[in-house]
Chains A and B, each alone.
Chain A
């Protein structure tokens, strides 16, 4: 291969591109020192991320991490982000000066397909041959020098997660050279080449295209079945007539126009691999194959999945209690300390009942949330996530979606926002929209404090079904209710608003691997930082505002409980009480629901603040929030405000109601209009109200209301 002119390029903007799950983000993190999310399933990265890359001689460049893609003909929104940037079609983003093509060495043939498409462009390329450790284990050996010669671009072997080859890669990026007028290495059958050549000539003549884009257009016109109809207005009639004749000739010769280019590329790849790759014949089943026989088994697969979920919820409940109690005690002693050292007055009340009570109520649940993220991280990192999608495909196809829609739902266990983002991997726009609409019904980590508080306070600690306790079972039921409702609504939407064809499901299943403790812990660390920051800002802010509204206007000579009744919050509560009375909620719950429209954890902090104010002068003020809630008596009826049924109704309401402004904002961004977020807010709130009402009435009938 010869270069006509070899020119060093100024490297300022570098993009990482490659197949899904080949290690781009791991490489990005190693190159920039950042901590973007890594996981062992395709479609972890769904938006572009930028970082600073310091090259030799201290020159700085911007490095871009992109979603994975199988080819430059993108079909899903995440792939489109990658290909648009590479082809210079993205708004506000320049074309990269150098492209680092990440290739998974253990799966080199398929990965080289994208490389072959990129090599057709005149853009400086460096190939990072990643995962050579995995390849070696599978008995695949790659001759890097030979591959370099065959591809005509620098190739660097790397093991991204161990930081091997990173410096060499930096060097190659810094020395990247422009590739002008390089001969295309792959070739199609003679007849197709001939006609393609003619078309390129015509396109340059009629439409003044440069050689590169003329070649692209020629290929599309020749191979795409709808090309003629689709591009009728774009091209000169003479040209289209020529294309028509070409089609007839190729069809007559029995050449499959659709597949001819892909096959030609794979032919070339085969010859490259023939020279540069040696693979030991392995007939034995790999470990992943053996595991898949169990984990994706038609019966066992499902049993294992449900068992895993049950185990997760059980451990969240049992293991987390110890650190939770510690945090609770910690906050208590801070409160006591403030109580002792400060003189009585509004400021002390504000600190203890306003700030501390609200924040403490939420922060107590940090351990549970950490456990949830630990398990989600393990699922993602072992490769089980993709299997879960696969197992669920049959169930999902019953509601008209496919297995890929299950990954956003699983991600929504953490938070609906990454869940909605993860829908970018879904090819069909309608299926994607349906998935975005229903994903927030899946219980996110913000609901966990609400469930945990109410379960701990009102669900007896009995054992059922052997190892499963009643609290864990209740928690599991809430999560299942969310999932079942998500699926039912998906079915409804697919039947009515967003009809579509039966879904075609295809998804890569990465090899199983031992989870990297480091990356799981990092995820947990990032999450807890976010959670604490939220507690220190939004929760604190809302708690303080709530304290003012619950303390003023002052009335003299009444008990704190009566004072609360006469405050702004109390008045507002009485105003909304008629609306929520049918659900069995009293006005304090109503205030919690309104305040937590912002985000769901606020319910817990609101309870903390309100109950602390209500009981601020008597002994019960020093009791735990759960105890205070259990002791709360409705002054009018003399009955407890909270029963187990009330607790369940509040939980059901929280499972179903849309109480998260950030989710709505993200949905607005992803769908580009307020129509769908408003629809989501409306349908979820209505659903929550109706279902909670039914649960309450049925519960009363069955005598659970006491």
Chain B
């Protein structure tokens, strides 16, 4: 089964793993995201959701993001 439904990282339920498809932010900031592990094709897991913030795991590290950043990361489910 292969889904191609594209969501943003904000829509991902807790615990689920997704693959990053695209980054939609200012170029500089996209670069920073990539360097911190949020590169296209990387696998991310949403660890927990606060209010307006998300913690996800990428490359074995937990990274905290706010809503604005999370909504600029386009992901797709891959399992």
State in angstroms the CA–CA spacing of A402 and B53 once bound together: 11
State in angstroms the CA–CA spacing of A256 and B64 once bound together: 26
Verify A296–B48 contact, CB threshold 8 A: yes
Q: Which residues of B contact A138 (CB under 8 A)?
A: 60
Verify A107–B59 contact, CB threshold 8 A: yes
State in angstroms the CA–CA spacing of A210 and B62 once bound together: 40
Query: With A397-B66, A403-B64, A509-B63 as given contacts, are A296 and B35 in contact (CB-CB < 8 Å)?
Result: no
Verify A504–B68 contact, CB threshold 8 A: yes
Of the candidates B35, B41, B53, the one whose C-beta lies within 8 Å of that of A70 is B35
Q: Which residues of A contact B61 (CB under 8 A)?
A: 107, 110, 508-509
Verify B37–A109 contact, CB threshold 8 A: yes
Within 8 A of A (CB), among B17-65: 23, 25, 27-37, 39-42, 47-53, 55, 57-65
State in angstroms the CA–CA spacing of A140 and B55 once bound together: 22
Verify A505–B65 contact, CB threshold 8 A: yes
Q: Which residues of A contact B52 (CB under 8 A)?
A: 393-394, 397
State in angstroms the CA–CA spacing of A605 and B35 once bound together: 51
Q: Which residues of B contact A262 (CB under 8 A)?
A: 31, 34-35, 39
Q: Is B74 an interface residue (CB 8 A)?
A: no
State in angstroms the CA–CA spacing of A397 and B31 once bound together: 22
Verify B48–A293 contact, CB threshold 8 A: yes
Query: With A263-B40, A293-B48, A394-B51 as given contacts, are A258 and B66 in contact (CB-CB < 8 Å)?
Result: no
Q: Is A130 an interface residue (CB 8 A)?
A: no
Q: Is B75 an interface residue (CB 8 A)?
A: no
State in angstroms the CA–CA spacing of A379 and B59 once bound together: 25
Proximity string of chain A (388-419) to chain B, C-beta cutoff 8 Å, 1 when within and 0 when not: 01110110010000110000000000000000
Query: With A258-B27, A262-B31 as given contacts, are A504 and B50 in contact (CB-CB < 8 Å)?
Result: no
Verify B64–A505 contact, CB threshold 8 A: yes
Of residues B25, B49, B51, which shows the largest number of chain A Cβ atoms within 10 Å of its Cβ? B51
State in angstroms the CA–CA spacing of A403 and B52 once bound together: 11
Q: Is A443 an interface residue (CB 8 A)?
A: no
Count residues on chain A whose CB falls below 8 Å from chain B CBs.
49
State in angstroms the CA–CA spacing of A259 and B49 once bound together: 28
Q: Which residues of A contact B28 (CB under 8 A)?
A: 75
Verify B32–A390 contact, CB threshold 8 A: no
Q: How far is the CB of A297 from chain B (nearest CB, A)?
A: 7
Q: Which residues of A contact B50 (CB under 8 A)?
A: 296-298, 301, 390-391, 394
Q: Is A465 an interface residue (CB 8 A)?
A: no
Of the candidates A256, A266, A393, A510, the one whose C-beta lies within 8 Å of that of B66 is A393
Within 8 A of B (CB), among A232-281: 256, 258-259, 262-263, 266
State in angstroms the CA–CA spacing of A127 and B44 once bound together: 27
Q: How far is the CB of A40 from chain B (nearest CB, A)?
A: 13
Q: Is A106 an interface residue (CB 8 A)?
A: yes
Specify the chain A residue showing the minimal Cβ separation from B32: A75
Q: Which residues of A contact B63 (CB under 8 A)?
A: 506-509
State in angstroms the CA–CA spacing of A259 and B65 once bound together: 20
Verify A506–B55 contact, CB threshold 8 A: no
Q: Which residues of B contact A259 (CB under 8 A)?
A: 23, 30, 34, 39-40
Verify B36–A506 contact, CB threshold 8 A: yes
Verify B41–A258 contact, CB threshold 8 A: no
Of residues B34, B50, B51, which shows the largest number of chain A Cβ atoms within 10 Å of its Cβ? B50
Q: How far is the CB of B2 from chain A (nearest CB, A)?
A: 20
Verify A502–B68 contact, CB threshold 8 A: yes
Of the candidates B27, B34, B40, the one whose C-beta lies within 8 Å of that of A224 is B27
Verify A70–B36 contact, CB threshold 8 A: yes
State in angstroms the CA–CA spacing of A389 and B34 once bound together: 22
Of the candidates B32, B39, B60, B62, the one whose C-beta lies within 8 Å of that of A263 is B39
Q: How far is the CB of A286 from chain B (nearest CB, A)?
A: 9
Query: With A258-B30, A301-B50, A390-B53 as given contacts, are A110 and B37 in contact (CB-CB < 8 Å)?
Result: yes
Query: With A397-B52, A507-B63, A509-B64 as given contacts, are A113 and B69 in contact (CB-CB < 8 Å)?
Result: no
Verify A226–B27 contact, CB threshold 8 A: yes
Q: Which residues of A contact B55 (CB under 8 A)?
A: 292, 296, 390, 509
Q: Is A225 an interface residue (CB 8 A)?
A: yes
Q: Which residues of A contact B64 (CB under 8 A)?
A: 296, 386, 389-390, 393, 403, 505-509
Within 8 A of B (CB), among A174-229: 224-226
State in angstroms the CA–CA spacing of A511 and B63 once bound together: 11
Q: How far is the CB of A95 from chain B (nearest CB, A)?
A: 23
Which residues on A are within 8 Å of B, measured CB to CB?
70-71, 73, 75, 106-110, 113, 138, 140, 224-226, 256, 258-259, 262-263, 266, 288-289, 292-293, 296-298, 301, 386, 389-391, 393-394, 397, 402-403, 427, 502-511
Interchain Cβ contacts under 8 Å between A and B, 13 examples? A75-B28, A75-B32, A109-B37, A266-B42, A296-B48, A297-B50, A298-B49, A394-B51, A394-B52, A506-B69, A508-B36, A509-B62, A509-B64
**Beyond the given A262-B39, A393-B52, A402-B66, could you list 13 further A-B residue pairs with CB under 8 A, ordered by the A residue number?**
A70-B36, A225-B27, A258-B27, A258-B31, A259-B23, A263-B41, A266-B39, A289-B47, A292-B55, A391-B50, A506-B36, A508-B63, A509-B61
The 3 closest A-B pairs by CB, nearest first: A298-B51, A505-B66, A71-B35
